[in-house]
Structure 1
């Protein structure tokens, strides 16, 4: 078996990686949104905010693609760690391919001078056994939830909006498509940093570090990845202070798919139902702007009771549970 580094320009390699990935999810959790070769290549080019991961493809001697390793190498924070993702084609499981890819990822981590790594895996017995074999400790549980817009009770959404707007009468909402206006950029840094109050459970992670440049990098990465970013911002009427926001990105290749990227409210502005206001306002806006949109996926720590309560009120349902593991090298 050979493990080769993938390039975003390697169309065959990216297609083979997606085929391995998709075959695994088809068996383990067919409801999960899967990459296309285009979205996979864009991930390798741009990442989330111009901090792309590395990707490696395992091939048999006859050229058959059997496994994929991706490695996130944080540069803004957590610069002593990496994060690995490993997929093995179901037809080739049980042969040590996953272990070989994990050990390869560990070696890459050491070569980078980093002292810890993490791994996320769907909550299945074989994944738990794999983690135990490689000395990984479970630190957190993440849950992927989905909102099906076709079955959404829009009267409920409107009621949530009306009731939360009444509770947040001291705020106005600003709709933004794409890049933030220059005069909002500095104020938005503090709002985005509020995401650090979300539960990390037992994960050994630094707080996310945000700057105006990083926010611009996020916007550029999403635009180049051919996603339309919708943002609703809450602003205090009396001071003009930015108080919270919610962000949803919609794929242009698959415009029926949306992904919730962030919802955060600054500490000084909590207690006014701004989270519910922002989420319901976003839905009403997307209903106008994206008629092909049929689903929105979101990810939360299982312990994030406040955000989960809002999502459940908006008829999100669980798609999958993922276990997050870490290991010191």
Structure 2
């Protein structure tokens, strides 16, 4: 492979994965999984290409774009750039994908430079990204500005630091054995429900969200961008309504995925005040991914996080008996949620660094 010149061009978005021009987008899906595998040994952290394509086609809430780096005819890396579509959004979220075989060729630097140009062209003044890390202690450890957690330096983190990114936060990726004895989940759920009392009750559904829950679900989803611990990562307050819930449900089920929601309703007000989400792809033997878990700030202290997690996990074991593990990410400073995870059997398997660069 010649290293004389790196060329960068837009990632082509096909209408369908069965189209003749879908090869480049399929290569993106393969590269995404390869990078997750090489970085932490967990290729299933990346969604498959069938799951990603619907989100790329619907830019109502997020515009997704990509760039492909080549040396000659060989793909040596890619970068995706997502733009939240809220009126006051000023960040571009990037994902740098460079395989180990192409390390040291300057691919990361070329892609990061190109991302700056793209972000400025879209009127953005902030770049954000995440790096994956194994649970190792090495000679060079990165401590985020929150002071919580630490991750080993990698080729990607070195490139990010060269380009002026700051590690703001560390997130822990944990897994739970779905085939383990459910007794701890059953006991924890019973204790939490007794503690919460009669003012709270659980509701649950499989996507698509029933019409009667769409407004309440939208309201609690909107809180995730402002209530979840995020250090100094700057996130715009997301705008949610019933129509956005419908769009999200469509994306999350378009490729045969199954998506379960358990929420807690505050009985006196009818407000949904906590939720937990689990998703699995069309292959029901694959990894289950926990999407969001949140307790509204004004209802914390009632063990609602334990309720939604345990109730959804117990329900999921019956719905998806062939899935072996569930994977989740939580901020290292989010001790209340990590304590819940640890109490019911989650164990850390990898970490992520959250990075920002102001333009």
Q: TM-score, normalised by structure 2?
A: 0.84
- RMSD between aligned residues: 2.2
Aligned residue in 2 for 1:181: 210
Aligned residue in 2 for 1:109: 119
**Is residue 299 of structure 1 aligned with residue 329 of structure 2?**
yes
Aligned match for 1:45, one of 46, 50, 57: 57
Contact conserved, 1:39 with 1:225, CA < 8 A, in 2? yes
CA 134–229 in structure 1, closer or farther in 2 if over 3 Å, else same: same
Q: In 2, Cα distance between the equivalents of 1:116 and 1:158?
A: 44
Q: How does 1:16-165 map to 2 (within 5 A)?
A: 16-33=27-44, 34-46=46-58, 51-61=62-72, 63-76=73-86, 79-123=89-133, 124-125=152-153, 126-150=155-179, 152-165=180-193
CA 77–160 in structure 1, closer or farther in 2 if over 3 Å, else same: farther
Aligned residue in 1 for 2:7: 2
DSSP 3-state at the match of 2:13: coil
Q: In 2, Cα distance between the equivalents of 1:187 and 1:76?
A: 20
Q: Which has the higher contact order (CA 8 A, sep 6+)?
A: 1
Q: In 1, Cα distance between the equivalents of 2:34 and 2:205?
A: 37
Q: TM-score, normalised by structure 1?
A: 0.91
Contact conserved, 2:108 with 2:156, CA < 8 A, in 1? no
Q: In 2, Cα distance between the equivalents of 1:214 and 1:113?
A: 24
CA 310–109 in structure 1, closer or farther in 2 if over 3 Å, else same: same
| Number of positions where the alignment pairs a residue of Structure 1 with one of Structure 2 | 326
Aligned residue in 2 for 1:309: 339
Contact conserved, 1:77 with 1:208, CA < 8 A, in 2? no
